[in-house]
Structure 1
Amino acid sequence: MAYSFYEFENVDSCQLALSKAIKEIIQKEGFNSLALSGGKSPLGFFHYLREEDLKWQDMHICLVDERIVGFDDKNSNTYFIRNEFLQKKASNAHFISLLEDVNLSDEENLKLANEKYKQPEIAVLGMGNDGHFASLFANSLGFDEALNTNKNIVFIEPKNAPFKRLSMSLKAIEACKRLFLLIQGKEKKEVFDKACVKFDANLPISFILHSKKVSCDVYYSK
């Protein structure tokens, strides 16, 4: 299996441990680029990491995926990252949003996202109850391309989730030097266990867990 599994009794201890692990890697390896996922699940992790003593002025922060909505929309991952992570000590970090301008066409936003893309050394993924990660939803418009393209950023339109999105492709995620997956709760653990058994296109996270290109550190809290 292409992952290591770390289990914690509660969310707080899990997210603190993840923050410490990423701080140590950044300091040891001299990494300066980090891709983060949106959503409420990693909130505690964001709050811990933004307080760490790192050379934030040298850090480049980007998103694993983004919904095509305005930056002031609370559904925007950019809005979330700016308000919950790029604060305190992390306020000096350099942030590049995947989305250029919600008023541009989807094609133009995709083109610009690929042009300004900088490969992150570290990425922190989340996972939905349906097994999706980033915005790679099974059976969504753009899903097959996301798995097979050489492009770094792809356009995704989910069938069972709101908003069109821009997302790192599987190729871009597998190009990270260190990859982390943060999950919590019994339901997601059951999905994770099922995805560990074999590749399953209906459980996109299985492509990471069985990857031959990158190993993933999984941080799970009960």
Structure 2
Amino acid sequence: MQWLPFDSPGAQADALAAAVAADLKQAVEQNGRAVLAVSGGRSPIPFFERLAQADLPWRQVTITLVDERMVPADHADSNARLVREHLLRGNAAEATFVPLATHPEDEAR
């Protein structure tokens, strides 16, 4: 493992978004599709916002979560809400999102 120091959290988020975008693009080129599983919480927000701006074939990308809280999808603590608000924006909104949990009240929406 290599230690990579960054001047700021923003620089770290930029580098991570660039690396993940490159991997997603390569996966789509090689396999026709790519899957990205992300964590929730507040820490990934800067990364999500930068990745959302990446020039990717988003329609060929599926995004899911590795963790979730059992709250309604629009609850402030919902990781699905976090992904929808901070990652699935602009062109990235074309990605397929597969949440970990479904709620009966979500079916009515």
Q: Distance in 2 between matches of 1:27 and 1:86?
A: 17
Q: Secondary structure at the match of 1:54?
A: coil
2: CA distance between counterparts of 1:100 and 1:4? Answer: 38
- Letter paired with 1:21: A
| Cα distance in 1, alignment partners of residues 75 and 104 from structure 2 | 11
Q: Counterpart of 1:52?
A: 54
Count of aligned residue pairs for this structure pair: 101
**TM-score normalised to structure 1 length:** 0.43
1:69 is the counterpart of 2:67: no
Tell me, which stretches of 5 or more residues in structure 2 are unaligned? none
Q: Name the counterpart of 1:85.
A: 87
Query: 2:58, 2:95 within 8 Å by CA — same for their partners in 1?
Result: yes
Distance 2:24 2:95 in 1: 14
Shift of 1:56: 0.3
Unaligned 5+ segments in structure 1 are 104-222
C-alpha distance in 2 between matches for 1:35 and 1:4: 23
- Aligned partner of 1:100 in structure 2 is 102
Structure number having the greater strand percentage: 1
**Equivalent pair of 2:27/2:34 in contact (CA under 8 Å):** no
Spell out, residue by residue over 1:10-69, the C-alpha distance to the aligned partner (whole angstroms, 9 max, x if none): 100000000101111122233510011111111111111001110101110000100001
* 2:10 alignment partner in structure 1: 12
Cα offset, 1:5, TM superposition: 2.8
Q: Deviations 1:105-138 (Å, cap 9, x if unpaired)? A: xxxxxxxxxxxxxxxxxxxxxxxxxxxxxxxxxx
How far is the alpha carbon of 1:4 from its aligned partner?
A: 3.5
Q: 1:102 to 1:38 in 2, by over 3 A?
A: farther
Is 2:70–2:101's contact at 8 Å kept on the other side of the alignment? Answer: yes
Alpha-carbon RMSD: 1.6
- Structure-2-length-normalised TM-score: 0.85
Structure with more helix by fraction = 2
CA offsets per residue over residues 162-206 of structure 1, 9 Å max, x none? xxxxxxxxxxxxxxxxxxxxxxxxxxxxxxxxxxxxxxxxxxxxx
1:190-209 correspondence to structure 2 within 5 Å: none
Distance in 2 between residues matched to 1:88 and 1:66, nearest whole Å: 24
